[in-house]
Chain A
């Protein structure tokens, strides 16, 4: 069913990771990515992996859910692995078949590339799994606040983003419902040629657009009734506060990045 789409899906929970300030999580993801791209050698990757594994364990999300998110990029993973395996020519040659050869360097490169992409995806997914879309946009707005000085409409953009995110599940549910209602009248969305399928979309798209416009209209009215007039002078119900945990976690990721730079320079392991 449409409901099973897990794109930026949020798994509610009450773990330490869930409770972190969204700004902390955004900053940490950036630091994490920097660390991942600086990392070189087993020790460095091991450290980053240790941190990721700890975060996953603490969050209670479960490695299975994270691995499931990996499925859409499986092809890219395999492709990257194979390219790196055959196109690196450093190190000693292990196997040689015709013009293809596998070297120790290629093996290492392929391994690190694939691990890096997997860890990159897991890290960012962990953030979206543990942060509700609304608090994510809140955090983003706060972090981008300095851009207001440059006349970037940060608040409006954030508001649009949170409304859009808020309505994705509603629209998916609505699509499901209208689809069922038309199927009950014998509509067939699955079989037939491409043209038949496109035609079959009309009974779905028309009601969907009508209701999306109606909803937008109602929402605008409801917001105006509550005196919404943009971000100016607007206070928040849920103020974002950094706690001690936030500073600790940010510090930890800061140390991680520093460690990566040091290892890159001084360790050959």
Chain B
């Protein structure tokens, strides 16, 4: 299958020619396939946010290319602008970008910039609000009256309303309580299922990525040293730890069990697998130390 979005030898250097020069991306070859749920993990400062800002043309590459459906998004200025609508990007802490008098108007900002007609805008605003679980009476409120979690959902709805083919979210659950996190992740999943859209999520939670992502890309120091299914990635526990990352807690438990000499598979990362593995071990009567 051809990737929907990919980068070819993408390089990014910040502040070229000053003492602050910094290479943030170094010949990155990244692919996202249609309809997949892709997780991006990496520690702070590894270049995750820089990479995703290249994917919708907010940052211009200092080297290499970004291709959407195989076409360079920087080919001409019209293509670049269209890319912004086809690849929706939700920034980290997006609640700080709200500015309109009402929630409705704020969500409508993107569709309006797409020059859609009034009926279509109205339909999209209601649909986006529905996806993120905002009730109709909230649409007439000022976004500044809402709680932090609600503001963030409004901001996400503002991007969803553009109905992008690829939805990218930068640490969408940062700073939320567990309930808020679950709600947001559920909203994203709902959008993914309903539209069959490609989802790219930057996250620090290995548990969330293990549970939700079809594929994981690891970024370290501006490069992609590791990518694959959650199982393939989490099987490389040592390599991940070297990069300052962790495996999900369940995988860590099985890793320890294996180190203690029990015959278990240490690439386990879901609860069901863990249960099956432990029961199998128990039936075999493997001795516990």
Contacts of A187 in B (CB 8 A): 109, 113
Q: B84 to A206, Cβ gap below 8 A? A: no
Cα distance A183–B60 when bound, in Å?
A: 13
Kindly count the residue-residue contacts between A and B in the assembled complex, taking CB atoms under 8 Å apart.
59
**Cβ of B1 to closest chain A Cβ, rounded Å:** 27
Indicate whether A34 reaches chain B with its CB closer than 8 angstroms: no
Q: A184 to B91, Cβ gap below 8 A? A: yes
Contacts of A184 in B (CB 8 A): 56, 58, 84, 88-91, 159
Contacts of B58 in A (CB 8 A): 180, 183-184
Q: B97 to A207, Cβ gap below 8 A? A: yes
Q: Please tell me the size bucket of the interface on B.
A: 20 to 34
* Residue of A with least CB distance to B87: A184
Contact of A181 among B15, B85, B94, B144 (CB under 8 A): B94
Q: A11 to B19, Cβ gap below 8 A? A: yes
Contact of B15 among A3, A12, A177, A178 (CB under 8 A): A3
List CB contacts (< 8 Å) of A172-197 with chain B: 177-178, 180-188
Cα distance A177–B90 when bound, in Å?
A: 12
* Residue of A with least CB distance to B92: A177
Q: B99 to A180, Cβ gap below 8 A? A: no
Per-position contact with B for A1-45: 1 when CB-CB < 8 Å, else 0? 001100000011000000000000000000000000000000000
Q: A185 to B158, Cβ gap below 8 A? A: yes
Contact of B84 among A186, A203, A207 (CB under 8 A): A186
Contacts of B159 in A (CB 8 A): 184-185
Indicate whether B132 reaches chain A with its CB closer than 8 angstroms: no
Contacts of A182 in B (CB 8 A): 97, 109
* Residue of B with least CB distance to A60: B19
Cα distance A3–B97 when bound, in Å?
A: 20
* Residue of A with least CB distance to B110: A185
Per-position contact with B for A205-236: 1 when CB-CB < 8 Å, else 0? 01100110000000000000000000000000
**Cβ of A113 to closest chain B Cβ, rounded Å:** 31
**Cβ of A149 to closest chain B Cβ, rounded Å:** 42
Indicate whether B96 reaches chain A with its CB closer than 8 angstroms: yes
Indicate whether B162 reaches chain A with its CB closer than 8 angstroms: yes
Contacts of A210 in B (CB 8 A): 96, 144
Indicate whether A202 reaches chain B with its CB closer than 8 angstroms: yes
Contacts of B98 in A (CB 8 A): 207
Count how many chain A residues have C-beta atoms less than 8 Å from C-beta atoms of the other chain.
21
Q: A181 to B91, Cβ gap below 8 A? A: yes
List CB contacts (< 8 Å) of B91-119 with chain A: 91, 94, 96-99, 109-110, 113-114
A185-B162 contact, Cβ under 8 Å, with A3-B15, A203-B109: yes
Cα distance A186–B81 when bound, in Å?
A: 7
**Cβ of A12 to closest chain B Cβ, rounded Å:** 8
Contacts of A207 in B (CB 8 A): 96-99
Contacts of A12 in B (CB 8 A): 19
Q: B109 to A177, Cβ gap below 8 A? A: no
Q: A4 to B15, Cβ gap below 8 A? A: yes
List CB contacts (< 8 Å) of B54-105 with chain A: 56, 58, 81, 84-85, 88-91, 94, 96-99
**Cβ of A111 to closest chain B Cβ, rounded Å:** 31
Contacts of A177 in B (CB 8 A): 91, 96
Contacts of B81 in A (CB 8 A): 186, 188
* Residue of B with least CB distance to A204: B99
Q: B91 to A180, Cβ gap below 8 A? A: yes
* Residue of B with least CB distance to A191: B77
Cα distance A181–B159 when bound, in Å?
A: 10
Contacts of A188 in B (CB 8 A): 81, 113
Per-position contact with A for B14-51: 1 when CB-CB < 8 Å, else 0? 01001100000000000000000000000000000000
Which chain B residues have a beta carbon within 8 Å of chain A's beta carbons?
A: 15, 18-19, 53, 56, 58, 81, 84-85, 88-91, 94, 96-99, 109-110, 113-114, 144, 158-159, 162
Which chain A residues have a beta carbon within 8 Å of chain B's beta carbons?
A: 3-4, 11-12, 177-178, 180-188, 202-203, 206-207, 210-211
Further contacts, 11 of them, CB under 8 A, given A12-B19, A180-B58, A187-B109: A177-B91, A183-B84, A184-B56, A185-B84, A185-B158, A185-B159, A186-B110, A186-B113, A186-B114, A207-B97, A207-B99
5 A-B pairs with C-beta separation under 8 A: A184-B88, A184-B90, A185-B158, A210-B144, A211-B96
